Structure 1
Amino acid sequence: MKKWFYIFCLFTFTACVRPIETIPVEVEDVLPDSTATPSSTTVLIYGGPGSWKAEIAALKNILFHQSLSYEVLKPNEINQMMESDYAKYKAIIFAGGDAPTVRQALSLQTRHYIRRAVQTQGLNYLGFCAGAWLAVAPEPAPGQDVVYGLGVIDGPVQELTQLSKMGLKYALDRSIFPDGSQRNLLWYGGPITPNHAGSIVAKYSDGTAAISQIRSGKGLVVISGLHPAATKGILKSLDINDKEASAPDFAWSLLEAVIHDKLLPTFP
């Protein structure tokens, strides 16, 4: 009982620190919510309650300039989908926002379908911050729902970062990469991601896992506690003046990984 109370408290009060309510959105979203064609839709993006619209706009912009098709769907649309409908997508994306609100907006059946689509159909998954919190949950008992989130990865509850423990809502973190390079990236309440052997794509400045890639059944799951797609407008809204922290090139590498099922460089 104590364990589940801890999970409830952690997930309710820490998931991405509700940036959807605290950041004045200064990203002009001029792109449509769908560039799908009858024959091709590459990416499904969750765009309902709990999603951070500014980050979705940034991700749409990256995909558009890579000439890739996408659909941003609301819960009423996603909740009408059957499990087989996910087969037309190469990846599903959950941006930052408020993870408990996202979970509540999706029906139990939809959560089950997404989990199965990743693990048994090979639908790849990319989650930023709230999307990372949503991704990992203990494996449910047969016929039962996961205790929180979507649980596309079976695993223990993710831990709070040192930044969260310091009481910070957001910060720039000097993130570390496998080739030894470093750069400042926006953190806004994301978790310490799973630390499996050969899975860590980037570390926080304290050496804990910031971005991880994990095979879950047939699907590739990439989860990031950081926001590399943060635009200059987003950073300005937070009074952050650091051009390096806007990293659409790196954000594209994460998108490319799940779209093309392409593993990223990792720490040993």
Structure 2
Amino acid sequence: MEQRRFLPGARVSPSTVPGIAVADTESQPLALVYRGPASTDDCPEAVAALLDGQYRVAYIGPDEEYPLTAYSLAKAALYAQPGGGSLAPAWRSMRDYADDIRAYVQGGGNYVGFCLGGYLAGASPGFTLLPGDANEYVGSSGSDLDSTADTVLTVTWRGAQRPLFFQDGPLFTLDNGAPATVLATYPSGAVAAVVAPCGKGKVGVVGPHPEADETWFSEAVLPSSGAVHPELGRDLVATTVAR
């Protein structure tokens, strides 16, 4: 199943994210954000900005400070897979790292996936981290979306209606009886954000983009009023790392 290219996120460079490579943050836990062929320009920076303040943030990937290896992952309290392009080419770029990522999470690590990162947490194809799978929300049963174009979609997050930036994100199907915490649902009732155990670790995934800032909406010519919710992204992260 081909996914459309995701809109680049907020234009945040490493030098403008205080949590990245700043000496006085060494006491903070390390969050590694993937940046490479499976991410779209600026999407990793948007996730880094979301994590800044709670974590010492660095990038991990083929040409980054941290190469994507088991040794690098072992240093991290959190690994984040940001938005990106189409699922099939993204998986081709990531499949050689799948065993290391899965071992990291099952050994006690934390994985947080945003949109494409949510697809990749699934199994068809993906890292097989979820007690279930990730599938396309557009065109799914009960969905009134029939286009993969950028839009604002209202989800129910912990009982409250929250509009969020959305572009062909996944829904999540869970195995019967899976010990998962559903944070958000789509208008159809399908799962939009969920946290679940994976071995000794945990995985948290979201279909929409709570990390999106005002620039995402302006570039897509969409209204941003009431739709910028970084606190929801932080809720996803906090729920994932909680023990």
TM-score scaled by length of structure 2: 0.82
Q: Establish whether residue 195 from structure 1 lines up as the match of residue 174 from structure 2.
A: yes
Amino-acid identity (%): 23
Task: Give 2:162's match in structure 1, choosing from 183, 187, 211.
Answer: 183
Q: Establish whether residue 112 from structure 1 lines up as the match of residue 99 from structure 2.
A: yes
Task: Identify if the C-alpha distance between structure 1 residues 28 and 92 changes in structure 2 by more than 3 Å, giving closer, same or farther.
Answer: closer
Distance 1:60 1:233 in 2: 16
Distance 1:173 1:227 in 2: 10
Contact preservation (8 Å) 1:212, 1:224: yes
1:48-87 alignment runs, 5 A limit: 48-64=36-52, 66-76=53-63, 80-87=67-74
Q: Establish whether residue 151 from structure 1 lines up as the match of residue 131 from structure 2.
A: no
Q: Provide the residue aligned with 1:130 in structure 2.
A: 116
> Which residue identity lines up with residue 200 of structure 2 in the other structure?
K
1:222-241 alignment runs, 5 A limit: 222-241=204-223
What is the deviation of 1:191? 1.1
Please identify, of 180-189 and 167-176, the stretch whose mean Cα deviation from structure 2 is larger. 167-176
> Which residue identity lines up with residue 192 of structure 1 in the other structure?
L
Distance 1:84 1:122 in 2: 14
Contact preservation (8 Å) 1:40, 1:88: no
Q: Provide the residue aligned with 2:147 in structure 1.
A: 167
Distance 1:106 1:79 in 2: 15
Task: Identify if the C-alpha distance between structure 1 residues 107 and 132 changes in structure 2 by more than 3 Å, giving closer, same or farther.
Answer: closer
Which blocks of at least 5 consecutive residues in structure 1 are unaligned? 1-9, 138-146, 264-268
> Which residue identity lines up with residue 119 of structure 2 in the other structure?
W
Task: Give 1:27's match in structure 2, choosing from 11, 20, 27.
Answer: 11
Contact preservation (8 Å) 1:128, 1:227: yes
Q: Provide the residue aligned with 1:140 in structure 2.
A: none
What is the deviation of 1:105? 2.6
> Which residue identity lines up with residue 130 of structure 1 in the other structure?
L
What is the deviation of 1:79? 9.0
Which blocks of at least 5 consecutive residues in structure 2 are unaligned? none
Contact preservation (8 Å) 1:135, 1:152: yes
Structure having the higher strand fraction is 2
Contact preservation (8 Å) 2:133, 2:172: no
What is the deviation of 1:28? 4.5
Distance 1:107 1:205 in 2: 32
Larger-Rg structure: 1
Task: Identify if the C-alpha distance between structure 1 residues 256 and 199 changes in structure 2 by more than 3 Å, giving closer, same or farther.
Answer: closer
> Which residue identity lines up with residue 121 of structure 2 in the other structure?
A
Distance 2:10 2:64 in 1: 27
Distance 2:208 2:169 in 1: 6
> Which residue identity lines up with residue 193 of structure 2 in the other structure?
I
Matched position secondary structure for 1:244: coil
- Count how many residue pairs are aligned between Structure 1 and Structure 2: 232
Task: Identify if the C-alpha distance between structure 1 residues 54 and 243 changes in structure 2 by more than 3 Å, giving closer, same or farther.
Answer: farther
Contact preservation (8 Å) 1:173, 1:185: yes
Runs of 4+ off more than 6 Å: none
- 1:164-220: CA deviations, max 9, x gaps? 961232221111123x31011111111111335553210011211111111111111
Distance 1:83 1:168 in 2: 35
Q: Provide the residue aligned with 1:244 in structure 2.
A: 226
What is the deviation of 1:32? 7.1
Distance 2:37 2:68 in 1: 18
TM-score scaled by length of structure 1: 0.75
Matched position secondary structure for 2:174: coil
What is the deviation of 1:54? 2.8
